[in-house]
Amino acid sequence: MKYLIDIGHPAHVHYFKNFAKVVIDKGAKVLFTCRDKDVTISLLKHFGFDYISFGHNYKSKAGKVFGLLYFTMRLFFVSLKFRPDMYLNATMYAAIVAWLFRKPHISLEDTFNREQVRLYLPFTSCILTGDYEHPSLGKKEIKFSGYQELLYLHPYYFKPDPSIFKDLGIEKGTPYVIVRFVSWNASHDYGHNGVSLENKKKLVKMFSKYLKVFITSEEKLPKELEPYRIKIASEKMHSAISFASLLYGESATMASEAAMLGVPAIFLDNTGRWYTKEEEEKYGLVFNFTESEDNQINSIKKGVELVKNPQLKMLWNEKRKKLLTDKIDVTAFLIWFVENYPESAKIMKENPEYQYNFK
């Protein structure tokens, strides 16, 4: 079998890395295609996967329309040479090209951005989503009990490396917070501004009273915040999150990653995410705030309240245990589903409980 996996976001590399390793060991061929976004290429290189980059994403609305045509065309010509048997991921480029070649395309979806879903829905074969409350994607949707971040942060697959303290330049056990700022350039980011510059400075000042502050940012930081930028290899970020006292920021993915690792997360976004909503309401692992001025201030206060709690790690580890007890091994499920598709889709439609064989 040949699988083509199109990467739309650096986290997608993590989604599929364990799947790719397993099927490659079984004799399959896997090719990743991507755009040069943030740390995507460094991650693909680190894991040793074959990949082709199509260059940088376009940021303007007109550029994104051009990019839809350009990246689809590039992917079409790559497919002519690679001849994949199946396409994976929730990008419209892969879905359209799979449809053109009459090959299956399996999507993973957790953002539910209607603009993107409308583009790929007619062309995809099947959409895998978590079973938390979210907008229905119709007859192509199959729900599983889990989150996409469990594909790589389930304890079966991830063990945090304590040498991360050395990489961070701090003594082992030193409390710290990771702060994440995004670029707001994705198609679903229009109309968002995120944390104001004034409040970025304020939160660093407030958190610094209690613990070390590390910032990860997609864009250039102001001069006074640049010294706080985290300086570690991209593949070590999950170990850094795992030992942190708090994750604060504008990234839903990183907030959910923190939740999977038993670390409190504060997430700011006007739209929010259905999965972080469940992670807050059902498990108490994440705190969701909008981007309003009042909520920015309240989120900083909440962060300070959390890091001052001496029982924080113990409390969040218990919450994480409950989540892991409820959810399945999503990687094992994905491997089974892909290798047995389309029969697997039929099984899940007729008997959704079958997924609990993957605990």
Predicted local distance difference test score (pLDDT) of residue 189: 44
Q: Which amino acid is at 307?
A: V
Establish if 157 belongs to a structural domain: no
Establish if 159 belongs to a structural domain: no
Predicted local distance difference test score (pLDDT) of residue 116: 86
Predicted local distance difference test score (pLDDT) of residue 223: 92
Q: What is the residue-level pLDDT of the chain in tens, covering all 359 positions?
A: 999 999 988 999 999 999 999 999 999 999 999 998 888 999 999 999 999 999 987 777 787 778 889 999 999 999 999 999 999 997 899 999 999 999 999 999 999 988 889 989 999 999 999 999 999 999 999 999 999 999 999 999 999 999 999 999 999 999 999 999 987 555 444 445 789 999 999 999 999 999 999 999 988 899 999 999 999 999 999 999 999 999 999 999 999 999 999 999 999 999 999 999 999 999 999 999 999 999 999 999 999 999 999 999 999 999 999 999 999 999 999 999 999 999 999 999 999 999 999 99
Are residues 294 and 242 part of one domain? Answer: yes
Predicted local distance difference test score (pLDDT) of residue 123: 96
Neighbours of 70 (CB within 10 A): 15
- Residue showing tokens 């945090």: 160
Distance CA 227, CA 53 (A): 31
Establish if 348 belongs to a structural domain: yes
Distance CA 333, CA 330 (A): 5
The pTM for the full model equals 0.93
Tell me if residue 188 falls in helix, strand or coil. Answer: helix
DSSP H helices, the chain, are 10-25, 40-47, 61-82, 92-100, 114-120, 150-153, 164-168, 197-207, 237-242, 252-260, 274-281, 293-307, 312-326, 330-339, 343-350
The number of domains in the chain is 2
Establish if 156 belongs to a structural domain: no
Distance CA 326, CA 39 (A): 32
Is residue 165 within 8 A of residue 172, CB to CB? The reply is yes
Establish if 151 belongs to a structural domain: no
Are residues 222 and 94 part of one domain? Answer: no
Are residues 176 and 308 part of one domain? Answer: yes
Which is it for strands 176-181 and 246-249: parallel, antiparallel or unpaired?
parallel
Are residues 342 and 280 part of one domain? Answer: no
Are residues 93 and 214 part of one domain? Answer: no
Q: What is the extent of the structural domain holding 130?
A: 2-146+328-357
Is residue 266 within 8 A of residue 180, CB to CB? The reply is no
Are residues 353 and 239 part of one domain? Answer: no
Are residues 311 and 214 part of one domain? Answer: yes
Are residues 196 and 274 part of one domain? Answer: yes
Predicted local distance difference test score (pLDDT) of residue 192: 55
Predicted local distance difference test score (pLDDT) of residue 219: 82
| Domain CATH code at residue 172 | 3.40.50.2000
Predicted local distance difference test score (pLDDT) of residue 184: 54
